[in-house]
Structure 1
């Protein structure tokens, strides 16, 4: 039996392509690997998604050498299940990353499905969500404008590359391990240095980088080739100061299965402990702590350890989790 057939869980090595910002040490520590290169802050787990404009980077290679994207295309029912294939085709409809911010990320946002289709020729925009895995006491994310901003004001900040004004206009939120943050398309945000997350997102690499100077090579990288006059049309300029509880949640219930996001049209996530009973689904499993065993209906037992990441095919059937283990299962949108 080949890993590519989608008949058993597959443990994945790190997949850390070069990025424009520093980080990666926390990923290495979780996995028990040697520290990576300085600019390896993202591990694209079970990725069928490439960099925007660069189809040679981002894809996950299975241990036997096949690209996961090609394996899913060849055996979609095994990997994804019939209902998912009927809704989304041979497309996982999900990208998961481990992201370790070794420095503050720039102020940026992501287009909606509608904007991405109209201006970037993409089926998906990029709504995303973060599960905070590690953070220092003062680690901060900045999310959403505190008060409503005019289109002219935002355009002026971007034209002058006024980083202080852009960052200062956002809501600063101190985060800790166990918190979750939902980031709707369009909402501007910046992850602070020292924040380590499991990130779920729609499967694109589309970012409108308002604060491009000192991060990207040129302005075109900020608007992805369509000009800021057009690109800034995707920015959510609403005030979020009084509605942050819609985005940020602090919840560490010790249940066997804890649902983390109520956003099934984009993705789903579960925090898992011993005794978790899992339905059959394509998914990405990230083991955050401890050791245990995943007992699958059709593919036997899979040993788990801290730092391991797996892609789980639908064809393995229902599963249960045993042992002294904490994990996160990331799932595609509901068909």
Structure 2
């Protein structure tokens, strides 16, 4: 295999709370007026990403990893995760509030669902003036207090609501109660998992008048009742990588490009770039590729260097 930057067909998801920003802002070929998610890179069963470009076009991510494990994932990733691609990348458009929810940790997810947990982060790409996120408790709580407020439909009284703007970053450890508020467009980076416990859904019903399932009992053991600050404060400098998140599951840097950046790989790991703003070119061994806001690209571990040129804000994710 001659390594090259790999893009994938977007896996688009209708959601009761979705809208049209994935098309309006990110140029995704949305499937309806309630398209809530674009899964950019996924190996979640039933939603395996398919290569959209180059010699591997038409093959899915699991297949190409099976054929070229070291070249794509890198030695360090193989040692830690085997041939399982460990991350899931999404763009999310919340026209309406998402449900208040949480994700279990690795131990609980493995025991109950034979799955990874879902540690995740959000990068706010666009937000309306009054938009906010729900992230964790205002102060440390406990199961008794939580259940009382849940039963009284007053759960929001316990939870932290944070106004947001483009460029804001949040890191959500497993067990953190959270919700994306209406009017927010985000990039989401997370462990490969689709396990979510829905706690409260605003009394919402679907087109058939049915409420979505809640997971009240499952959530009780999974909730982190402690105070868990989630907003990341950072200062990004042009043409330099700035650390946003460093955790056992992934690392994410902000890379604002204005001009030329000579990028070097992270030894033993693949890298994923998500373009949050602007337009850039990547030149790899004399071949130039162009990316713009809303594009996501997998850089196989075998690629050691790239010349990046243009003006853009990139999220750089690696293990």
With normalisation by structure 2, the TM-score equals 0.87
Is 1:210–2:207 an aligned residue pair? no
Contact 1:30-1:288 at 8 Å conserved across structures: no
1:318 corresponding residue in structure 2: 305
> How far is the alpha carbon of 1:20 from its aligned partner?
4.0
> How far is the alpha carbon of 1:157 from its aligned partner?
4.4
Taking structure 1 as reference, are residues 140 and 230 closer, same or farther at Cα in structure 2, changes over 3 Å only?
A: closer
Alpha-carbon distance in 1 for matches of 2:311, 2:204: 44
1:269 corresponding residue in structure 2: 252
Contact 2:265-2:303 at 8 Å conserved across structures: no
Alpha-carbon distance in 2 for matches of 1:113, 1:190: 20
> How far is the alpha carbon of 1:6 from its aligned partner?
7.2
After superposition, what is the alpha-carbon deviation per residue over 1:183-218, rounded to whole angstroms, capped at 9, x for unaligned?
110010111001111111111011111114526856
The aligned runs of 1:49-60 (5 Å cut-off) are 49-50=44-45, 56=46, 58-60=47-49
After superposition, what is the alpha-carbon deviation per residue over 1:232-286, rounded to whole angstroms, capped at 9, x for unaligned?
100111235xxx3xx1124342332333433230211122214252314423222
Contact 1:45-1:284 at 8 Å conserved across structures: no
Alpha-carbon distance in 1 for matches of 2:205, 2:272: 30
> How far is the alpha carbon of 1:180 from its aligned partner?
0.4
2:83 corresponding residue in structure 1: 90
The aligned runs of 1:44-83 (5 Å cut-off) are 44-50=39-45, 56=46, 58-63=47-52, 64-83=57-76
Taking structure 1 as reference, are residues 105 and 317 closer, same or farther at Cα in structure 2, changes over 3 Å only?
A: same
Alpha-carbon distance in 1 for matches of 2:2, 2:247: 23
> How far is the alpha carbon of 1:151 from its aligned partner?
1.2
Alpha-carbon distance in 1 for matches of 2:142, 2:290: 53
Which segment drifts farther, 82-91 or 5-14? 5-14
Which segment drifts farther, 81-90 or 267-276? 267-276
Taking structure 1 as reference, are residues 138 and 46 closer, same or farther at Cα in structure 2, changes over 3 Å only?
A: same
Alpha-carbon distance in 2 for matches of 1:256, 1:111: 37
Q: Which runs of 5+ in 1 are unaligned?
A: 51-55
2:102 corresponding residue in structure 1: 109
1:15 corresponding residue in structure 2: 11
Alpha-carbon distance in 2 for matches of 1:87, 1:79: 14
Q: More strand by proportion, 1 or 2?
A: 2
Q: How many residues align?
A: 306
Alpha-carbon distance in 1 for matches of 2:283, 2:292: 14
Is 1:231–2:219 an aligned residue pair? yes
